[in-house]
Structure 1
Amino acid sequence: MAAKESSKSSEAYPMKGGDGLYSYTKNSYYQREIANAAKGLINEAIAEELDFKISPSSNTFRIADLGCSVGPNTFFSVQNIVEAVELKYQSQGLNSRVPEFQVFFNDHALNDFNTLFTSLPPDRRYYAAGVPGSFYGRLFPDESLFFVHSSFALHWLSKVPEEVVDKSSPAWNKGRIYYSNAADEVAKAYSTQYAEDMECFFHARAQEIVCGGLIVLIVPGRPNGTPHSHVISNRTYDLVGSCLMDMAKKGLVSEEKVDSFNIPIYNASPQELEAAIDRNGCFSIEMMASLPPVKSTSPTPPSGHALSMHMRAALEGLIKEHFGHGILDELFDSYAKKFDASPIMGPGTVLVALLKRKATG
């Protein structure tokens, strides 16, 4: 029987692969710090909310990490989930029933799965498999998953909203590459795209997760009521746009190229995420919390260079596809200098949400 396919189309925006200087592997320490900060909440959620009734007769507990990228953060998160589930069984005196674990690492087909799988922990206590494809569509059979995890992935939209690159639209984002300092119509186009994407995400997960199964989402966001232009992560993307416009003025890139380039990221508020969950209706919100500010453990102090490396790991593929490889070094050198000249400060939030699949019928 053929696999069920979703009609949802999605663009691919893989992180920089490999383990080189600009790789995501070497420049995702902030995401690791967030995963570490969320560890206690996830452990508590599993201890309180995991229902043994969902355990399969085959004694295989299936976990999916959606938007896994190339590691090592995905391995840290998955190992923590496995250990927390094992502890839940052991604390109930069910040592003989501790299941085997199968973990599905999901990302777009263009993700560097070679680096991911060559760096799998040799002492892992789970069977690993890769699942290519967009998490905005179906990826797994009906009622096959018991736990879904996704960290720093759902802020990536399935595509740039069509209106923002349409010269005849009031949402045409001329001279900018992001929505946070743009016209209201641009922000509206982004928020609408986010709502449509999340509808697809939850519709797919509702079919794939067993009743009583859990989802943990860790997403960068925007505090309720905070203007888009005040959010620190949004301002870092605006800085990329400023650097590109400077390069256009110097004739290094065409202004038309900049006008047609937009970053497909949206930082939603807790209210927007809750609304998306409520519209789907298949999941209950067991916990939603904002993580306190994370104290960096990076060996280097915050600087334009460190932030530019972080941004390059995430955006290099997107920028290279649109502008070519030749501008990358100058663009991110300029980014580092601009940040150091005027460091960006402002509010932001990272949401941790625990959802449970409601019973059907």
Structure 2
Amino acid sequence: MPESHPMIGGDGTYSYTKNSYLQREGIKYAKGLIDETIAHKLDIKDLLSNSRSFKIADLGCSVGPNTFICMESVIQAVKHKFQSHGLTEQIPDFQVFFSDHTFNDFNTLFRSLPPERPYFAAGVPGSFHGRLFPESSVHFVHSSHALHWISQVPKEILDKSSPAWNKGRIYYTGAPDEVGKAYAIQFAKDVEIFLDARAKELVVGGMMVLILPGIRNGISHSCAVVNVMLDLLGSCLMDMCKEGLVSEAQVDSFNLPMYVPSPKEMIELVERNGSFKIERMELFDPVPGNEAQILRSGHAWKMHFRAGLEGVFSKHFASETIDELFDRFPNKAAEKLKATSTETTLLFIALKRK
């Protein structure tokens, strides 16, 4: 059973709803890429030859509002394609499946649905590391800021007798090569399962868009700002360990279940699967220009991480430990951000079912 780590639900101070700005900026930038992909690569006539409804799945939807922005963008792009081909009267009904782990706050999600939405909505609880839909039933799959979550922490990094034991760290950045390899292998296994499942669920000619943190080919994982920030969380925990606020054993037995891939890794995994054609793949900066100043703020990273990671930490540490951890983090993050130059990149992948 894949591990479940839902974002913080509701609309409180640390909720995902109020602290998903960085994800939203990536989604806004990717809208143009999705529009172009649908305009040039989606064959609407063949797709809907046997159906009067266009079915879209958002995998890893969380609680909104980002998922609503994504789904309306996809629908508008599909509608525009019909209109540009003189097929306005043939525009289908749209059905959107919002899917995430069973512990996701679906109540907040559905309470927040736009009242004038141009689609029929349904929830599909479950892990995307496996089947979620009937065979050949979905026309378009979207997944943003989700696929980098691995289904489980590699077992060997918790094994004291293994060369991959990740003592004194909670992530693979800056760890021995064996740790990074263990993470990469687990990520590859998960993506293989993900692609196999989607290949069965998508109709032939159907499309899938994936957006996730990525790094350029051939550079160190420590060059990605998200990895640097995650590593700093581990540094804060080790400081607390030295002060006797948390035990060394607790830190050594905890690792974050995420991996940031390169385009080369993703190309190899897609080609190995064999069911998809890569229509587009590129790295982009989600917060360009003057807006990038937000990425120099330790407080902004604190809010971003707490909304997304508190569920992971809360399974292992007491609430007061988590409070102390995130109270310490902003100052250390601000110092690091001033002293280093790191990259903020997202990986955009558009695939078509062969």
Partner of 2:192: 199
Tell me how far apart the structure 2 counterparts of residues 236 and 87 of structure 1 sit (CA, whole Å).
40
Q: Please name the residue that 1:113 is paired with.
A: 106
The 4+ residue runs of structure 1 with deviation greater than 2 A are 295-302
Paired letter, 2:164: A
Q: 1:179 aligns with which of 158, 172, 178?
A: 172
The residue aligned with 1:46 is 38
Distance in 2 of aligned mates of 1:316 and 1:292: 26
Whether 2:348 is the aligned partner of 1:355: answer no
String of CA shifts for 1:204-244, please: whole Å, max 9, x gaps.
Answer: 00000000000001111111001112221111000000000
RMSD: 1.4
**Cα gap change, 1:42/1:272 in structure 2, threshold over 3 Å: closer, same or farther?**
same
Query: Which residue is 1:5 aligned to?
Result: none
Structure 1 342/129 Cα, relative in aligned 2: closer, same or farther at 3 Å?
Answer: same
- Is 1:101 aligned to residue 97 of structure 2? no
TM alignment of 1:158-307, pairs within 5 A: 158-292=151-285, 294-295=287-288, 297=291, 302-307=296-301
CA deviations 1:93-117 (Å, max 9, x no partner) are: 1111100000000100001111111
Q: Is the contact between residue 295 and residue 301 of structure 2 (CA under 8 Å) also seen in structure 1?
A: no
Q: 2:316 maps to which residue? A: 322
1:11 and 1:159 in contact (8 A); partners too:
yes
Q: For residues 45 and 301 of structure 1, do their structure 2 counterparts lie closer, same or farther at Cα, with a shift above 3 Å needed?
A: closer
Say how many residue pairs are matched.
Answer: 350
Distance 1:83 1:339, change over 3 A: same
Q: Secondary structure at the match of 2:63?
A: coil
User: Contact 1:29/1:298 (CA < 8 Å) preserved in 2?
Assistant: no
Q: Which one of the candidate residues 2, 21, 29 is aligned to 1:29?
A: 21
- The verdict on how the C-alpha distance between 1:210 and 1:227 changes in structure 2, with shifts beyond 3 A counting, is same
Measured in 1, the distance between the counterparts of 2:331 and 2:180 equals 28
Question: SS at the partner of 1:185?
Answer: helix
Deviations along 1:296-315, one digit per CA (max 9) or x if unpaired, are 75997842111111111111
Matching residue's letter, 1:308: K
TM-score by length of 2: 0.96
| 1-structure distance, mates of 2:342, 2:216 | 11
Which residue type is aligned with residue 347 of structure 2?
Answer: L
Give 1:121 shift. 0.4
Aligned to 2:12: 20
The AA in structure 2 aligned to 1:294 is: V
1:333 correspondence with 2:349: no
Match of 2:83 among 84, 90, 114: 90
Partners of 1:304 and 1:339 within 8 A in 2: yes
Identity %: 57
Deviations along 1:301-344, whole A, 9 cap, x unmatched?
Answer: 84211111111111101111101212122111100111123325
Q: Structure 1 CA distance, aligned partners of 2:144 and 2:5?
A: 15
Give me the whole-angstrom Cα distance separating, in 2, the residues matched to 1:304 and 1:180: 19
| Unaligned runs of at least 5 residues, structure 1 | 1-8
The corresponding residue for 2:342 is 346
Q: Name stretches of at least 5 consecutive residues in structure 2 with no aligned partner.
A: none
Whether the aligned pair in 2 keeps the contact of 1:223 and 1:348 (CA below 8 Å) is no
Partner Cα distance (2:341, 2:57) in 1: 35
Distance in 1 separating the partners of 2:261 and 2:77:
29
- 1:324 partner amino acid: A
Which amino acid counterpart does residue 300 of structure 2 have in structure 1? A
Q: In structure 2, what is the equivalent of residue 310 of structure 1?
A: 304
Does the Cα contact within 8 Å between 1:65 and 1:103 map onto a contact in 2? yes
1:254/1:301 CA distance change after superposition, 3 Å: closer
Deviation at 1:14, TM superposition (A): 0.6
Matched, 1:81 2:54: no
- Partners of 2:61 and 2:143 within 8 A in 1: yes
Find the partner of 1:150 among 143, 162, 178. Answer: 143
